[in-house]
Each structure stands twice: as structure tokens, then as C-alpha cells.
Amino acid sequence: MNIRHRLEELKAEMSPAKKELEFTLKRIRKSPLSIVGAVIVLFYVVIAVFAPIIAPPVTSDPYRIWRDGFSLIPKPLGTPVEDPIARKAGWTVHYFGTAEGQFDIFYGCIWGTITAFRVGILVVGISLLIGLLLGCVAGYYGGIVDELLMRFTDIVLAFPDLILAMALVIALPAVALIDIGLFWAVVLCLILPIIAGRTLKLRGSSNLMLGIICLLTFLAIDIWILGSPPIWIITMKLSQLDKVLIALALVYWPSYARVIRSEFLRLKQEDYVEAAKAVGCSDFRIITRQILPNAIYPIIIMASLNMGSIVLTAAALSFLGIGSPIGYADWGQMISFARNWIWAGFQNPWQYWYTFTIPGLFIFTFVLGWNLLGDAFRDILDPTLRRK
Amino acid sequence: MGLREYVIRRVLLVIPTLLGVAMLIFAVSQLFTPEQRATLYITNEKQMQNIEAVIRLYHLNESVFVQFIDWISQVLQGNLGYSHTAKSPVLLALLRKLPATIELVVWSIPLILLVGIYVGTQSAIHRDKPVDHASRTVAIIGWSLPSFWLGIMLIAIFFAALGWFPPERMSTATANYIYLSGEWRSYTGLLTIDGLLNGQLWITLDVLRHMVLPTITLTTINVALIIRVMRSSMLEALGKGYIVTARAKGLSHSEVINHHARRNALIPTMTVSGLLTAGMLTGVTITETVFNIDGVGRWAALAAGGAGAVPDIPAVLGFALFTGIVYVFTNLIVDILYAYVDPRIRLE
Amino acid sequence: MAEDVLEIENLRLNFYTYEGVVEALDRVKLNLKKGETLGVVGETGCGKSVTGLSTLAIVLPPGRIEEGKVILKTEQNPIDLLSKNEEFLRRIRGRVISMIFQDPKSALNPVYTVGDQIIEVYFHHKRKELIQRVIEQLDASITGRKASFLSKHYKKIYQKMLKNPNAFSLRIQSKIPILRRYKRLLVNEAKKEAINILRAMKIPDPERVVDMYPHELSGGMAQRVVIAMALACSPKILVADEPTTNLDVTVQLQILQLIKELKEEFSSSVIYVTHDMGVIAEMCDRVAVMYAGNVVEIGEVFEIFKNPLHPYTKGLLESIPRLGVPFKSIKGTVPSLIDPPKGCRFHNRCDYAMDICTKEKPNMVEVEKQHFVQCFLYK
């Protein structure tokens, strides 16, 4: 008659899929590292979303860090703000001090979060899409298609990210570009419903609803980040950072392609694929509804881990001077122009520690959060390691 | 099938792959204007004045195929263009700067592998115990650190504050001895070894002292990769049937792990190590820049237009070609080692 | 009547998993007589494989033996294997008691040759004899005319190996590439033994097979190799864990015949774990029927087939498909062992269940001569 008993009975009646989800959540809760990772990522998401409130923009381009004067010497934490426009916008004090050229470090770090997310999401999104496409085709059809695609992948893999990024950055002029938003929409609306549908056992029409909701959510985010509704084909002037993003995406897709391909090769032998073929399913249907939902797990792990490493690579590029221009809200960029202030003579050597330590900490914790999350995903989603 | 046939087949595969790499680089170079591309064919400063002639000479305005043939023939003759950042032909600059990078890698990789394999194995054996959690946490932290940030911090602490380990490759005293005194014979290009061969132990020690910080930086960041792959492949091996068989035969715990599980676990680790080595040979750019070591990586960064300089296209493309070749050969070696260790591969 | 060589008493084993504590074995009681083949039959999950592993005192994590004894009676005095330390057990495993496994392909390590894996057994258990033999050979070649420096040098090394196997100089020498060539002699001796045992397994061309890798062999050949590894040191007890389940039917027959012959040749006693009643009828003298972690009935094969006592055994025999007879199966499914039913674990599927069956566990009673049953129907 107990509530407990009733709950137990209800639980016993749950479908196996829901049980799996609950099992997964229980394991997430048990692993402290994954919670730490999730919390960190959530924390940065909050910062990114509320950036305009936390650090109100002073100039018309919020991605340029505003400057309080032109003096070369960095000012310490808590220095009062002098620029009248900034004060009108709500600034009273430089929370994290200023860097060389009086760029406000606090502003740079907060808006740098948005840049970091933008870099990570765009690069992961594009490379994932390309990799998925090529990997699916190569893995499913096999034979000569597979050979050719894999040779091509090997060749592209032969390039370390930094080098190709450098080459492309120099080479690319302003290029006509299809709005990246379109890629994102496709990715989200195809893949998310599949995963959700599988784990929650949704029916066909519910899947469609989910896809439409995703599309609408995506549109909203797009307007917010890019500042304009997505147009199918626009000629966009590629900033330095964009070139870097494209270069990175073009370099990172092979690893996704390889992983998807090997998963497909493995899963294609499974009995349920044979059954689907015997029933007469089209290839597309088999790929998307039978194999892909099973093959997606390593990709999720890779994507979350890549979020971290891509931000690191982008920061490295900025540090070398090939990434964002000076004054852009980007963590790597901020460290690069702190180079001269690391050691300020024997009198008070750590005087300007905040110029490089604080942005560095942001990078480190951001990447750490994604790495922890990715590792947690790997532990949880890897079916062979799931049950002890 | 046998090892020999597999090796022969694999070696033959190198040629089309190299060709593919060359084509890819050529494709990228097509993104540049003809003037920029002309710089690929010149070998000294004077020719830069007369770009038009160069363009006509190498058909840079003509069809892609003609250009490709021209370029390939140039490359095969060893002419990769002239690098204005290095003030010398690209190939020469490459060969001159390579030893510094190789030395760094040669000292870092064994450390990474030793630490990584040992910690990874221990992590797998004592799964979910404090050792496991601790090592994984430390590894993840290392992997998440930006390499340039770590480098800067290490310099700040260990050099600026404590004065123990200096950056750069050698001290002025060493540099004077090597370049000015006329008594130095360069055998391998690796200063640590050459120091011993020249009988100048102090040089070896000096260079080692300079290498401590960059090596620590590289190791901290990359060891996580090895730990992770070793741990997961070890866990997989330990779950297999032959482990129970080995125990049923009466083997001891350590024999089972070292002899049976580890051999199987090393296979994926080898692939990763190979990629890591190739990656490091071509990617220590940040570390070399931070520590101001005159190696291939730093040159590439300068060539790409770091700090607003004019991009040095032959250098960048030459470096890209070098990278491609390194990866192709590293993959070759890894594949052969793989076939040697895992007999199942030879059938494919 | 033959005496026991192995006795399992009151074995209780639990698995500690994420989902809860699985009470896998509940007071298992078995005995193996000298020279006989004891079958252990039951459905998947009844605990028969775990029982087999327990005879070797091998418990795979997350399992833990809570109580019970595994008494080995082949030596002078009976020994409870569960109370002995790892050091002792390692000398027993592979030499006194051996095991062969269900899937030969996964039981063999793919990166070592078949020969290497068999040699491993010899190195572990018969090292001294092999060293002696090498020394004798070296002696022979020294007193003959080929008295090379190397032979004398090797002889010294091998003598040291006999006297002081853990000597520091030996350990160093065995790691250095050229110096460790001396080991070749030992390996060759062991290889000869390996070839012999492969030949005894009726494997054609054993000299070639010994250098092959597991993936190059067919299922039947691989299983013979596994059997070779198990019988290499002529163990007194052989535990066979469904060795033919993964093989083709024709190969199955060959392997069964092989095991029968080898049992005679090596005079071992065999515990044969399976789910196939046909194999029991073919191979075994006595059989133990297991259900949900209990041995519910044990007796001579003929007797049990003719006169099954336990309701579960009856159900099993009746459910063997026969032409012309309507198909019968036991109602219900095997209960989860995480929270097993109280009392007799079979009571919720039993046609004869009584009130007491839900409350208490029955003890093993001897109904006929050497025919034991664990059921409240019998007193």
C-alpha cells in the first residue's frame, strides 16, 4: 500500500528504453568527474547567454574589446573606469584590470566565451556533417567507393591542423559563402530526432514535431548569434577568424569520417540490417533509422572532446598571430598580447599576472569542462564498458 | 599471407599516397595569385625583381596540368622556392632547422610513452580505485592546458623566478663554441649526442638543461593521450577469454597481465604513438615559439604571417609538403609494426 | 565403488553488480568419482559455468565466494582449495585440474602462435624436467665430437637454471638480445612436447600447426588445441565447459569421441558442463542437474533418464522434441537471481509445489542408491 511499492511497480512496467535512460542518468550521477564537467560547461553557457548583461557592450561592435584610454601599461584589478561612454553603459570598475592598450580584461574574457562557443560549435558542426556524409557512404557501400574515400581521408589526415589552417588563412580571400546556419539546421533536424526517437521510443509523427521544434530553436539561436536571420546564400566577408574556422573544419572532418565508417562496417553485418533489407527498406532508410542511431555514440564522444581541442587550437593560432585580430574578444588573442608583461623585472615580477593568467584560466577550465564531459560520455555510452 | 608480402604491398602504396599529398598541396597553392605562386620557383633574392619573367617561364597562367607537372619536377629536383623569413632556399632552411625539432621530439616521446604506458596499465588494473581516478584526473588536466600557457608559466616560474632551467636551445657560451670556435664537428645535428661525440660533455649538459622545460611542457600535454588509449585497450584485453585461459593454466597474476594482456593492449597504443610522433615532429610549433627554439615549427609560424608579417608562401607550402611526407612514412612504419605484432592484420 | 577425487560442499557465490547482488550459487553440492565423467546440465544462467570455474578456485570479478569448500582428494590428504593461497593454487591449475572452454577462438590469445601457448603450460609446470633434458642433450654433444664452446657455456647456464632459477645474472641475460639465445634450446624441447600432444589430439601435420596462429585454424582444430593445452600435463581432473557448443555438429561428434578416448588414455576424471541432454546421454556416467544456482538432482545417467525424480528434471526430459509427440515446455521463466524466490527456487514453476516449498529450502536426500534429489516431495 506503500508509495514506495507503487513506485517500484511503476518502474517495473517502464519500457526497456526508459530503463536504459534511467540507468545512464544514475551512472552520470555516480561519477563526480562528469558532474564537474557538466557544471563547468553549464556555467560557461550561462555566461555566454547573459554576456550582454554581465558585460554590457560599449562600442557598436560587441566583439571588439573596448579600451579605456591608450596607455600601454596594464592597470591592475579594480582600477576605476574613466571613459565616459563606458560609464554610461554601466561600467564603474575594471574587475580584472586592463591589458596593454587598456583593453578591459573582464570584458574580453566574458565575450571571449561566446567566441569560444562559436568556434567550437561551428567547427564541430561543419566537420561532423562532412565526416558523417562521407563516412556513411564509404562504410555502407564499401568496395571501391570506400577505398577511394578512405585514400582521400588519409591524405587530408596527413595535415596537422595548424599547418593547413595557416595555409588557408593566407590563401582565402573574401569568399561567397552559404550561410552556415543552413548546415546547422540540417544537422540538428536530422540527427537529434533520430537519437531522441530511439531513446524515447517516439512515434513517427512525434519525430517530425521534434524536428520542427529543433529547427525553430535553431533559427532563434542563429538570429541571436549571427545577428541576422539565416539567408540561404549570402556573400559574407570572411574575417580572419572565419577563415581559421573553415580551415579547422576542413581539417577535422576526416576523424569523424573514419569513426563513422568503421562503425558502419561493423554494424552493417548485424542481423537487423539484413532483416530491414529483407523487408524492403530503402538504403537511405536503413542508414538513417537502423544503423546511424547505433553508430552515433562514438561521434558524440568525439564531438564533445573536440569542442575542447578545437578551442585550444584556435587559441594557439591566435597566440601565433594568425587567429583573431588584436583587440578581438578571444582568449588566445588576449594571452598573445600579454607576452611582454609576464615578467616585470626583479622588483615586482608578478605585477601583471592578470594579463595572461586570467584568460589562460578561462581557456583551461572551458577545455577541461568539455574534456571531462566527453570522457564521462565515453564511460557511460561505451556498451562494452557499461556493465562491470 | 606472411609479413613480407604485406610489407611489400604496403610500401608500394606509399607512392600513390605521396602523389595524393602533392596534389592536395598543389590544390591549396592554386588559391594564391600567380605572383604569389611565382615565389615558389625562385631560388634567390634577385629573381624576386623579375616576377613577370618567372610567371611566363613556369606557365603560371596556363592550365592546371602543365603547372602541376612543372611544379612536381621542380620539387623532385629539390627546388621548393625561396623563403624570405629564413633568407635561404626552402629545402636548405628545412634541413637546417630540422635537427632542433628532432632533438626535442626524441627526448619527449620516450618519456611520454614510458609514463603513459605504465600509468595506463596501472589505471586499468586498478579500475575505479583511487589510483585510477587520480591518474585520469591528472591526465585530463594536462590535456586541457593550452600548451603556450603552460610553457609561459613554466618559464615564469622556473626561469624568471628560480633561474633553474633556461628557455631556448643553448646558452651563449655553447653557441659561441659551436658556431665561432671552429672546433665543432656536427655528426648528427642533435646537440646532446654531438656534444658527447665531440668530447664536450658540458655542451651536452647545457643543452639538456635547456630542454627540461619544453620537454615537460610537451610531456604534460601529450601523456594523457597515451594513458587514455592504454587504459581502454587494456580494459578490453582484460575482458577477453584468453585471460581466463591463462589463469586456468596456472599463470601468475603479473604474468597474465604482462605477457597476455599487455601485448594485445599495445596494438592500438602503437597506432596512437605513431600518430603522436608524426604530430609532434610537425606540430611543436607552439612550444618552439614560446621557448624560442629555432626549429621547423617556429619557422612555419613565422612564415604563416605571425605578428603581421608578410606571409612566406614557399615556406608554408614547403612545410606542408614536409608534414605530408612525415605522416605518410610514419603511417607506413606504424602499419608494418602493427602487422608484425598482430598476425591477424596480415590477412587483409 | 570408486572413491571421490573432488568434492564441492555447500558452495555459495554472489556477484556484486550495479543492479544488485546476484545470488548465483546457492549451497551447491557435487562430487566427482575417480575415472568417471560427471555431467552438469542446466539452462543458461543456472550457474554451471561458474561452478566449473570454481573447481579451479577461479572467481571472476565482481564475484565473491561467500562460503563453501572445494575439496581436492587426489593427493595424500584432502585439500580445501578455497582456503589455499594463490601460490599453491597456481601449481594445481593446469597440472592437477585443467579446464577447456566454450569458444576456442576467444580462449586463445590471437597474437601468439598455438605452439607458444602450449609451450607456456610446459614452461610453467614442467620446467625442471625440460631443463634436465637439455642438460642431457648438451652432455651428449659434449662427449661426442662436437664439443663446441657454446655447448659447454650453455650447459653451465642450464645447470644454474636448475639450482638457482632466480639468479640475477640469469635475469639479466634473459633480457639481452644476443645473449638470450640460450633459451632457444629450452623452447625447442618444449616445442617437441607440444608437437607430441598435438599429435595425440589427432591433429594432422602437427609440426606445421604448432607455428600457426589461432585465427588460421578452423573451429574444430582450435578446440583441439585448447584441449591439448589442458591435457599437456596429464591432469587428474578435466573440466569441460560446453566445449562443443560453438562447433558444427559433425565436428562436435569428433571432439566428443576425442574426449572419450583421451579420458581413457590419460586416466582422468571429467566434469562435463553442458545444456544438451543428448551429449549427457552420450558421454556421461553420472549427471548433476542444476537449476538457478542449485544442484536439484544427481545420479547415474541411465537411472535419471529412466526415472527422473525432481519436477525440473522431469520437465527437461519431457521437453526434448520428439517426432509425433506434442511439444511440451516448462511454464514460466527462470527467476532473476538478484532477489531470488524464497524457499525452493523452482516453486513458482512447479506443478507439484506445496506450501512448504515457498518457505524453506529442501535438503539433498538419497532416494535410491546413489540417486539424490533436493525436493520436498521425497523424504
Q: Is C280 in the same domain as C341?
A: yes
Q: Is C145 in the same domain as C261?
A: no
Q: Which residues of B touch A162 (CB under 8 A)?
A: 283, 285, 300
In a domain, C245, yes or no: no
Task: Inspect the interface and report whether the beta carbons of A387 and C18 lie closer than 8 Å.
Answer: yes
Average pLDDT of chain A is 74
Distance, CA of A297 to CA of A378 (rounded, Å): 8
pLDDT tens-place string over residues C301-321: 998 888 888 888 888 888 877
- B146 near A CB under 8 A: yes
Bridge partner residues of C270 (DSSP)? C37, C238
For every residue of B77-103, DSSP letters joined together read TT---EETTTTEEHHHHHHHHHHHHHH
Q: Considering only A5-14, B89-98, C236-245, which range has the smallest mean pLDDT?
A: A5-14
pLDDT of residue A174: 46
Counting every residue written for chain B, the total comes to: 348
CA nearest to C17 within chain A: A388
| Max mean pLDDT range (A240-254, C170-184, C304-318) | C304-318
pLDDT of residue A388: 40
Distance, CA of C67 to CA of C342 (rounded, Å): 19
pLDDT tens-place string over residues A32-71: 778 888 899 999 999 988 888 888 887 777 788 888 778 7
pLDDT of residue B232: 84
Rounded to the nearest angstrom, the minimum Cα separation between B222 and chain C is 28
Helical (H) or strand (E) element with A298: helix A292-320
Domain parsing of chain A, residue ranges: 1-30, 32-58+106-171+240-386, 175-237
pLDDT of residue A43: 93
CB pairs under 8 A between A and B: 144
Rounded to the nearest angstrom, the minimum Cα separation between C215 and chain B is 7
CA-closest candidate to residue B35, choices B53, B12, B13, B8: B53
pLDDT tens-place string over residues B263-311: 888 888 887 888 788 777 766 888 888 888 888 888 887 777 655 556 6
pLDDT of residue B292: 83
Q: Considering only A188-197, A329-338, B334-343, which range has the smallest mean pLDDT?
A: A188-197
pLDDT of residue C288: 92
The answer to whether C90 and C125 have CB atoms below 8 angstroms apart is no
Distance, CA of A277 to CA of A289 (rounded, Å): 12
Subunits adjacent to chain A (3 or more Cβ pairs under 8 Å): B, C
CA nearest to B228 within chain A: A375
Q: Is C74 in the same domain as C145?
A: no
In a domain, C109, yes or no: no
Q: Identify from C15, C16, C18 which residue to disrupt to test chain A contact, counting A C-beta atoms within 10 A and taking the largest count.
A: C18
Q: Is C18 in the same domain as C75?
A: yes
State the cell numbers at C224.
Answer: 583441439
Task: Inspect the interface and report whether the beta carbons of A387 and C62 lie closer than 8 Å.
Answer: no
Q: Is C278 in the same domain as C349?
A: yes
Distance, CA of A215 to CA of A222 (rounded, Å): 10
Q: Which residues of C touch A23 (CB under 8 A)?
A: 18
Q: Is C29 in the same domain as C69?
A: yes
Subunits adjacent to chain C (3 or more Cβ pairs under 8 Å): A, B
Residue B64 has pLDDT above 80, yes or no: no
Average pLDDT of chain B is 79
Q: Is C365 in the same domain as C271?
A: yes
Question: Which residues of B fall below an 8 Å CB-CB distance to C?
Answer: 240-242, 244-253, 260, 263-264, 267, 341-344, 347
Instruction: Please give the share of chain C, as a percent, with pLDDT higher than 70.
Output: 98
CA-closest candidate to residue B298, choices B188, B167, B189: B167
pLDDT tens-place string over residues C145-161: 656 777 777 777 788 77
In a domain, C101, yes or no: no
Q: Residue B31 — pLDDT band, cuts 50, 70, 90?
A: low
Q: Is C61 in the same domain as C137?
A: no
CA nearest to C16 within chain A: A388
Q: What are phi and psi of C286, to 5 degrees?
A: -125, 160
Q: Identify from B240, B245, B258 which residue to disrupt to test chain C contact, counting C C-beta atoms within 10 A and taking the largest count.
A: B245
The answer to whether A48 and A369 have CB atoms below 8 angstroms apart is no
Q: Is C17 in the same domain as C84?
A: yes
pLDDT of residue A179: 46
Looking at the structure of chain C, the number of domains it has is 2
Choose the final residue of a domain: C194, C209, C231.
Answer: C194
Residue A233 has pLDDT above 50, yes or no: no
Domain region containing C166:
114-194
Q: Which residues of C touch B263 (CB under 8 A)?
A: 109, 111-112
pLDDT tens-place string over residues A368-384: 999 888 888 877 776 55
The answer to whether B40 and B59 have CB atoms below 8 angstroms apart is no
Task: Inspect the interface and report whether the beta carbons of A364 and B289 lie closer than 8 Å.
Answer: no
Classify domain A32-58+106-171+240-386 at the CATH class level. Answer: mainly alpha
Q: Which residues of C touch B242 (CB under 8 A)?
A: 106-110
Half-sphere exposure of C85 (CA within 13 A, CB side): 1
CATH of the domain at C349: 3.40.50.300
In a domain, C233, yes or no: no
pLDDT of residue A178: 45
Helical (H) or strand (E) element with C235: none
Cβ neighbours of residue C266 closer than 8 Å, sequence gap 6 or more: C231, C234, C235
Choose the final residue of a domain: C194, C217, C241.
Answer: C194
pLDDT of residue A193: 61
Give whole-number Cα distances, C88 to B312, C74, C158, C233, in Å. Answer: 71, 15, 26, 17
The whole-number average pLDDT for the span C19-36 is 86
Q: Is C186 in the same domain as C84?
A: no
**How buried is C70 (Cβ within 10 angstroms: 0-12 exposed, 13-18 middle, 19+ buried)?**
buried
Q: Which one is predicted more confidently, A91 or A239? A: A91
Residue A365 has pLDDT above 90, yes or no: yes
Q: Considering only A223-237, A309-323, C55-69, C345-359, which range has the smallest mean pLDDT?
A: A223-237
The CA angle C12-C17-C22, to the nearest 5 degrees, is: 35
Q: Is C292 in the same domain as C362?
A: yes
Distance, CA of C164 to CA of B140 (rounded, Å): 46
